[in-house]
Amino acid sequence: MTAPRQRAEARAGAAFALPAFALILALLLAPLAALLALSVTDYRLGAMAVRLVGLDNYAALFADEVFQRSLRNTFLYVAFVLPGAVFGGLGVALLVHARRRSRAFYEVAYFLPVTATLVAMATVWQFMLHPSLGPVSALLRALGFGDVDLLNDPSLALGTLALIGLWQVIGFNMVLFLAGLSAIPRDLYEAAALDGARSGPDRFLRVTWPMLGPTTMFVTITSTITAFKVFDTVVVLTRGGPLGSTETLLYVLYLEGFQYFRTGYAAAMTVVLLAFLVLLSILQARVIDRKVHYA
């Protein structure tokens, strides 16, 4: 191929790639750059003057007790939600997958919490968990636990929010696992049956679990990110209380950015949050990728 023709092709190629690149720039990279820029200023929403402060925001962040507590709470929340989200979703999917006629019903039922807005459903939960009126509290009393106020007890509130988060995410994960289960070739189970796999656990260990590897990885990552970003239940049900026991990263960020208008400080916080999420994704992809992709 001649050099001018090669150049012409390169130009045409660049022209085709340009719209996509422009969109990525405008929608993904520019906001990120703006965020990074804001995080090294003392910008306050509506302020007339902006001053560069370097890494002061970050320094303040790591000295900030509220931020540290929110970080701890968020990790605790993720640790509560994640195992249930993955194994609960898998368990429900296995049960639903075995249904024939009633499968559609269970799929819809478990998927409802996903489609329902959590803010709207949170009011239902508020009623359910109400210390004197709520059926959950009544049940706990009947079981002999005495008067428990799940949302106002500092040692229970975060766990309660985690259960609500689980309630919402399981249906979504179930759908992902169901798709994974349907994609397993039937003749693998048949080969296993002839090989001598006779019990459910045998079939699960030999075929189902390994074949679900890619799905499990995806579910783990998305569930981690979802849990990391817990926000709406905190706002509606506890407002970070009692005693800051449910202050999470996103909630504190929201307070700084939109209640106290410390935009620069909130931007720094966002950068930290993003860094955590990116790190988590890379880590999980690295660790799990090697073990789950066969093709």
Give residues in contact with other proteins (CB under 8 A). 185, 187-188, 190-199, 201-202, 205-207, 210-211, 213, 294-295
Given the complex with other proteins, which of 151 and 212 has the nearer CB atom? 212
Residue among 35 and 192 whose Cβ is closer to other proteins: 192
Minimum CB–partner distance for residue 86 and other proteins (Å) = 16
Smallest distance from other proteins to CB 105, Å: 22
CB distance 98 to 104 below 8 Å: no
User: Coil, strand, or helix at residue 86?
Assistant: helix
| Cβ proximity to other proteins, 36 vs 292, nearer residue | 292
Q: Is the distance from CB of 130 to CB of 140 less than 8 angstroms? A: no
| Shortest Å, Cβ 174 to other proteins | 23
CB nearer other proteins, residue 193 or residue 225:
193
Cβ of residue 97: shortest distance to other proteins, in angstroms?
19
Residues 94/181, Cβ–Cβ less than 8 Å:
yes
CA-CA distance, 130 to 268, in Å (whole number)? 37
Would you mind telling me the total number of residues written for the chain in this entry?
A: 295
- Cα 270 to Cα 39, 52, 265, distances in angstroms: 9, 18, 9
Interacting residues of 96 by C-beta distance below 8 A, sequence separation 6+:
103, 106, 107, 110, 174, 178
CB of 103 to other proteins, least distance (A): 18
Nearer to other proteins among residue 162 and residue 181 (C-beta): 181
Q: Which residues contact 174 (CB under 8 A, 6 or more apart)?
A: 89, 92, 93, 96, 107, 110, 111
Residue 101 CB, shortest distance to other proteins, in Å, is 14
| CB 81, min distance to other proteins, A | 24
CA distance 58 to 20: 34
Q: How far apart are CA 118 and CA 10, in angstroms?
A: 49
109-147 b/e (C-beta count within 10 Å ≥ 16 → b): ebeebeeeebeebbeebeebbbbeebebbeebeeeeeee
Q: Which is nearer to other proteins, 156 or 188 (CB)?
A: 188
Whichever of 103 and 206 has its CB closer to other proteins, that residue is 206
